[in-house]
Structure 1
Amino acid sequence: MKKLLTLSLSFVLASTLFIGTANFAHAAKAPAQPAVSAVAKTVKQSKSYSMILSALAQNDVIGQFDPTEITANEVGALINKVTQENPQVLYYKSANVWSNGKIEFAYSLPADVMKKNRVALDAKVKKVVASINKPGLSELDKVKAVHDYLVLNTEYDYANLQKNTIPADSYTAHGALLGGVAVCDGYTKAAQLLLNKLGIENHYVIGQIGDGLHSWNQVKLNDNYYFMDVTWNDPVPNRPGIIAYDYFLVTSNQLRKDHSWIEKNWAVATDKRYSYLQTGKTAAK
């Protein structure tokens, strides 16, 4: 008889209010399994990783893992790794895992809506990337353009946060880029997706603000790593045309003043060359 393992692996759609030094509010999904390092690569899981990614990217209800590589008990962490490293994955909710390698996926939206949103997101990403990726731009220019685009065109979903009614879309790149409304996971994944398309190494980071969960990005420029929290650079309530840079390309020391994360899971950020950008002031655009 095949063993069934039910996994509540999705990020729980619960939110926490954070107030930053610039009076920014933030929310994040809580992983039911421990977060997986964005920079660590598990070679022996590569086949299962590819199979899970292929299924989740198309919102398939049935997927597979290779039971000769990993056990059913290890699939949860691998699914979390896939969702954290691939922001094009939308609306994953939970999974039932069978010891013979079968996975039954559940999602938060109907299949037809998810398909429509996947197509729309792909088209939007291509359009935004084309608007950014101009000849002569440095990698710094591209990262700043992604950051600024999201701050200027996305509003933090504060209204739903207050009512505890945050929809699934606000936790996705689709919500940030198409709906223009997101919480921290939406901002983080939208930045991750755009930077991926621009060929800039970056990673999803999950951590905490106080006792609440939060997410942001790590970016590699000039062989150095930096942290970037787009959410915390977007004023709440929304102030059209205003961008902050307090959390743009900061070091580990700068970020740990009010953020915490399992630091061994991500590269240490020590380079201060962009500290001149963190003025503590906002800029009108």
Structure 2
Amino acid sequence: MLKKFNYVLAFIFSILLIQASPAFAQEQNAGSIAGKNTITVSAADSKAYKETYTNLLAAITSFKDTASFPSQSISYKQVGTIINDVLNDHPEIFYFQHKGTTAYANGKIELKYKYPVKKIKEMVLKQDTKIKTIIKQTIKSTDSEFDKVKSIHDYIVLNTAYDWENYQKGQVPDASYTAYGLLMNGQAVCEGYAHTMQLLLKEAGIESHLVTGKANGGVHAWNLVKVDGEYYYVDATWDDPVPNRAGEISYKYFLTPAAALKKDHSWDEKQFPAATSTKYAYFQDIFSAKELGTYMYFSNNKDNQKLYRMKKDGSEKKKLLNVSTPYFVLTKNNIYLSNYSNGGYLYQAKLDGTQLKKINNIHSIDLYLEKDQLIFTNKATGTKGSVKIK
């Protein structure tokens, strides 16, 4: 009995070692995640690793109580890392529980789950239905790989709020770390964003990988994706403003090469294919973007957030307004903006940038449209105001 008890303690300790928990916070986004680990095995042991991985995946997705591993080739201390690899590769598994899962020297693994099996099956069905609905709504049969990645990135950013309030309290719920929580609740931290990207891209037929590392010194998670034979990094979390701003989306971390991402992210690049293409580097200029017709309107990161317009392929790029424009909305005829080159006051201009004129004397932020009203927040008082628009 003492021998079994010691094995249990040793395994639980190894599980704790592979679950990174340092909190990460920075001005725009934050997150805490479980770190990916890699077992270094000999050629002979690689077969045992694959066997263990396959056994675990089959057992967990069938909600079995036990799984097995070849104890003559792999130590029970390595099982925790293989479990992590299974979970990192399969973000649809939101219901597995590390705590209480136990590996024994005889090759047996006792598995634990967060919920009763009946409830898990109901939740999995809801998740599968949601995924299929999103793909049907966002992806067309004629879409290119680029179109698919952009549509999924945009869906996640526009339909998710970073769980900032709970993060600040140190009370982030388990759901916010999972794709299930993001899909069902519209709320997540970085691991939830990255897992959801991975899950939806897989459903759309796009190769992607979960990447874990650090960003601005804190633990973080994002994705590596393959588009037309080239690899790029995508950080959907950092493309979503915090606190949440409905309808706002950034592309600074969309389809970036490794060299650009390394400015504020760090990770073990050797674990992943090289990402060197700069084909989509023009997206890194885009801070806040709106689409209308064939054009993207955006605040330019590299030009003091001046308002620009271009097509999705980067062509026809043109500066529309020579004023700093971090907040703006579009109608079929006009642009309404917070002019940060003049007190943040509300301005109006035509879609081509002409006829710029001031329409209030209030520092206005968080703009959005509601029927025939332009709603804004008074930066000084925090109260909402409105302007009737045509």
| TM-score, with structure 1 as normaliser | 0.89
List per-residue Cα deviations over 1:207-266 (Å, max 9, x = no partner).
012332110000011211100000000000001111100000001111110000011111
Amino acid at match of 2:76: A
Shift of 1:7: 2.6
Q: Which residue of 1 aligns with 2:284?
A: 278
Asked if structure 2 preserves the Cα contact closer than 8 Å seen for 1:230 and 1:247, the reply is yes
Q: SS state of the match for residue 245, structure 1?
A: coil
User: Which of 90, 94, 116 is residue 86 of structure 1 equivalent to?
Assistant: 90
Asked if structure 1 preserves the Cα contact closer than 8 Å seen for 2:215 and 2:264, the reply is yes
Q: Which residue of 2 aligns with 1:152?
A: 158
Distance 1:178 1:91 in 2: 14
Amino acid at match of 1:254: A
Distance 1:242 1:121 in 2: 25
Consecutive unaligned residues in structure 2, runs of 5 or more: 292-390
User: Which of 6, 10, 14 is residue 11 of structure 2 equivalent to?
Assistant: 6
Range with greater deviation from structure 2 (115-124 or 233-242): 115-124
Distance 2:22 2:163 in 1: 11
CA gap of 1:162–1:13, structure 2 versus 1, over 3 A, is: farther
Asked if structure 1 preserves the Cα contact closer than 8 Å seen for 2:231 and 2:276, the reply is yes
Distance 1:202 1:63 in 2: 27
Distance 2:173 2:120 in 1: 14
Shift of 1:62: 2.3
Q: SS state of the match for residue 11, structure 2?
A: strand
Q: Which residue of 1 aligns with 2:321?
A: none
Consecutive unaligned residues in structure 1, runs of 5 or more: none
| TM-score, with structure 2 as normaliser | 0.66
Are residue 129 (structure 1) and residue 135 (structure 2) matched? yes
Asked if structure 2 preserves the Cα contact closer than 8 Å seen for 1:13 and 1:168, the reply is no
Aligned residues: 277
Asked if structure 1 preserves the Cα contact closer than 8 Å seen for 2:211 and 2:223, the reply is yes
Q: Which residue of 2 aligns with 1:16?
A: 23
Q: SS state of the match for residue 38, structure 2?
A: coil
Q: Where in structure 2 are the equivalents of 1:207-226 lying within 5 Å?
A: 207-226=213-232
Q: Where in structure 2 are the equivalents of 1:1-285 lying within 5 Å?
A: 3-4=7-8, 5-7=10-12, 9=15, 12=19, 14=21, 16-19=23-26, 23-31=27-35, 35-36=37-38, 42-94=46-98, 95-284=101-290
List per-residue Cα deviations over 1:18-76 (Å, max 9, x = no partner).
22xxx421112244xx6239xxx955422211111122234444222233442212212
Q: SS state of the match for residue 249, structure 2?
A: strand
Distance 2:219 2:61 in 1: 25
Q: Percent identity of the aligned residues? A: 38
Q: Which residue of 1 aligns with 2:353?
A: none
Asked if structure 2 preserves the Cα contact closer than 8 Å seen for 1:35 and 1:206, the reply is no
Range with greater deviation from structure 2 (9-18 or 62-71): 9-18
Distance 2:20 2:178 in 1: 12
Of Structure 1 and Structure 2, which has the larger fraction of its residues in strand?
2
Shift of 1:111: 4.4
CA gap of 1:72–1:178, structure 2 versus 1, over 3 A, is: same
Asked if structure 2 preserves the Cα contact closer than 8 Å seen for 1:15 and 1:164, the reply is no
Shift of 1:105: 2.5
Instruction: Answer 1 or 2: higher relative contact order, Cα 8 Å, separation at least 6.
Output: 1
List per-residue Cα deviations over 1:167-202 (Å, max 9, x = no partner).
111010001111111001111001100111111111
Amino acid at match of 2:177: Y
Distance 1:195 1:71 in 2: 34
Distance 2:73 2:200 in 1: 32
Q: SS state of the match for residue 226, structure 1?
A: strand
Range with greater deviation from structure 2 (5-14 or 126-135): 5-14
Asked if structure 1 preserves the Cα contact closer than 8 Å seen for 2:11 and 2:77, the reply is no
List per-residue Cα deviations over 1:74-112 (Å, max 9, x = no partner).
212211111111111113332210122211223444544
Root-mean-square deviation over aligned CA pairs: 2.3
Asked if structure 2 preserves the Cα contact closer than 8 Å seen for 1:85 and 1:204, the reply is yes
List per-residue Cα deviations over 1:257-281 (Å, max 9, x = no partner).
0000011111221100001111142
Bigger-Rg structure (1/2): 2
